[in-house]
Structure 1
Amino acid sequence: MTSTTYTAGTLLVSSSTAKNLDFFDLRSGRKLGTITDLLAEPHEIAYDAGRRRAYIAHTYRHGVYDQDVPKSHEITVVNVDDRAVESVIDIAPYHAPHDVEYDPELDLIITGVENLAGRRGVVLINATTHEIEAGIATDARNCHWLALVPGRKVYVTHKEAPIISVIDLVGRRLEGSIEVPGGAEEIDAAPEGDFVYAVTPRMPVEVDLASGHFFRPEPQPGDPVPRIVKIDVETNAVIDEIQFGNHQMGIRAGCDGRVYASSMNNRVRPGPEADLSALPRTDGVLNILDATDMSLVGTVTVDALPMTIRVSPDNATAWVASLATGRVAVVDVAGRRRIADLDNNAGGSYGGTHGMVLVP
């Protein structure tokens, strides 16, 4: 990767399949170091600026969502300056934490867990003692993605469940829910704390891990229209939306009303005679939105199976993780072009690159 003028700092990138954590210099793209042999499977990452610590959620021992696979129950604490694992928080009897956030105002590590033995919902962890302070149950069985409004609320999507749950972090209660027919994928809060953006409905998919392909079924009459909805934090009401011709997956709200969404752009599964291992992957897409009027202002082609997105505070650069290739696409937002790639776990049929966090 060539030198450029990114914001100074470090990008942390994890692969769920390689069980690693890479540290990349944001200015040069140079890999500064790697933590290997993390617990399976590292997913999302949160950053605690005061302690200079990263928190990594581990969801499964192997496999993907909605499979009958062993569930993980840990959050790894990483010292970002030493580039080393400092400790592991065991959240049992809660299992399968997918997303994780850190609330600096309440000093809480927050994660959402799947239903196991009747326990489900959002788990609040004391960031000093690493003890579980509360478990707040949701009506939906699985909690998948989180959007944090620090000191106030966390919004939760549940994949197939047709609601977004709203958790009051101060009162430690389920505040309410927002209807999203067909369920929802990732959700994120604007840095200003006034709006939340959610991808809906859940992306229909048939996963073939052996070949590294995610296939989509043929659309059916009556299927919910793929949308990104804009939610007012004060009222919990959907106040605007943008519709798409294809399903979106990941989302990131940047500063000043800019929103970024990833589309896997999956193909329909071919007939049984097809050699899936030789089948070319379909490129993914990064969509760039102006949230003031929920309009599409640009698109950039990225690697197959894009999911997690991170963006610099000035909206100049976006980073898009590819589950398929194990790479991170570096995108010049103003130029609407992909300018470089970062190798996290390139090679193989399924790279698993997933969690990312920016460390100033």
Structure 2
Amino acid sequence: MTYDALAGREGDVLAVVSQSGPTVSFFDAASHRLLDVLEVLAEPHELCLDPARRLLWCTHSYHGGYYHANNGRRSEITLIDPDERRIVDVIDLAPEHAPHGLALDSTRDLLYVSVEGAQDRPGGVVVVDLATRKPIGRIDTGGQGAALVRHQPGRQRRLCQQQGGAVRVGGGPAHRHDDGQGGGARQRGTGRLR
């Protein structure tokens, strides 16, 4: 039995960040044809779609470089209209910095944004109200690295903290993580838009 991975994908659009671009590219998910390229702030990192509002959230972690080899941390998240492929807003999370992962809680109308720590506070997760686009809270994760956020409606939120080659899940014991590069794996964010 064969499975056609492209069946039923007509009209679907895939958004992909390019850290070196700095761009968000939009592709036809069935034909893989490039539809459009949107220039954004330097170092786009992750994408998260808010399907109810038809808005795409994009974190920007650094002015240049990555993790421990960067030339300054950013504090912005860009809000993109994926249908018109234009920037709607730029939200500044300062004094928080280096936003990484994103998770949407559509039940509570919240966005969870992982951020790196600083000398005066540990890494954590900033809670953003989707209606106002304003930060309304913070969850400390205890380490300096950025947390990965996972949320499933009706289930407990999971926070993962990477620090010094170890990954802590939900405050549990550390699990070794090695990407062969001496740190966390560099990921490109993608978001299926439809």
Answer whether TM exceeds 0.5 for this pair. yes
Identity score, percent: 27
CA contact (8 A) 1:160 1:202 kept: no
Match of 2:83 in 1: 81
Aligned with 1:178: secondary structure?
coil
Residue number in structure 2 paired with 1:358: 192
- Please say if 1:149 is aligned against 2:143: no
Q: Are the equivalent residues in 1 in contact too, given 2:76–2:92 (CA < 8 A)?
A: yes
2:123 pairs with 1:129: no
Q: Give the residue type in structure 2 aligned to 1:54.
A: L
Distance 1:117 1:73 in 2: 16
**Within 2, Cα distance between the matches of 1:90 and 1:180?**
32
2:164 and 2:61 map into 1 onto residues whose CA distance is 18
Residue 324 of structure 1 aligns with which residue? none
Is contact 2:143–2:163 with CA below 8 Å preserved after alignment?
no
**What is the aligned partner in structure 1 of residue 115 from structure 2?**
113
Report the aligned-residue RMSD: 2.1
Q: Which has the larger radius of gyration?
A: 1
Secondary structure at the counterpart of residue 132 of structure 2: coil
Quickly say closer, same or farther: Cα 1:57–1:65, change in 2 above 3 A. same
Shift of 1:104: 0.8
Q: What TM-score comes out, normalization by structure 2 length?
A: 0.87
State how far apart, in whole Å, the 1-side matches of 2:180 and 2:101 are. 20
Cα contact 2:150–2:159 (8 A) shared by 1: yes
Report the Cα distance in structure 2 between the residues aligned to 1:99 and 1:71, rounded to whole angstroms: 15
Q: In the alignment, what sits opposite 1:258?
A: none
Letter in structure 2 aligned against 1:203: D
Residues 165, 134 of structure 1: CA spacing in aligned structure 2 closer, same or farther, 3 A cutoff? farther
Residue 102 (structure 1) aligned to one of 101, 104, 119: 104
Aligned partners of 2:135 and 2:158: how far apart in 1?
17
1:150 counterpart letter in structure 2:
P
Letter in 1 for 2:133: H
Q: What amino acid sits opposite 1:178 in the alignment?
A: G
**Residue 146 of structure 1 contacts residue 157 of structure 1 at CA under 8 Å; is this kept in 2?**
no
Q: How far did residue 163 of structure 1 move? A: 4.5
Structure 1 unaligned blocks of 5 or more: 167-176, 183-200, 208-247, 250-306, 309-353
1:179 aligns with 2:173: yes
> Which letter does structure 2 place at the counterpart of 1:154?
R
1:74: how far off? 0.6
Pick 1 or 2: higher relative contact order, CA cutoff 8 A, min separation 6: 2
Match of 2:178 in 1: 202
1:321 aligns with none
Q: Which runs of 5+ in 2 are unaligned?
A: 1-5
Give TM-score, length-normalised by structure 1: 0.48
Deviation of 1:161 (Å): 6.0
Partner of 1:211: none
| Structure 2 residue 36 is the aligned partner of structure 1 residue 42 | no
Question: Contact 2:16/2:191 (CA < 8 Å) preserved in 1?
Answer: yes
Shift of 1:159: 4.2
Deviation by residue 1:275-315 (Cα, 9 ceiling, x = unmatched): xxxxxxxxxxxxxxxxxxxxxxxxxxxxxxxx65xxxxxxx
Q: Check the 8 A contact 2:141/2:161 in 1, yes or no.
A: no
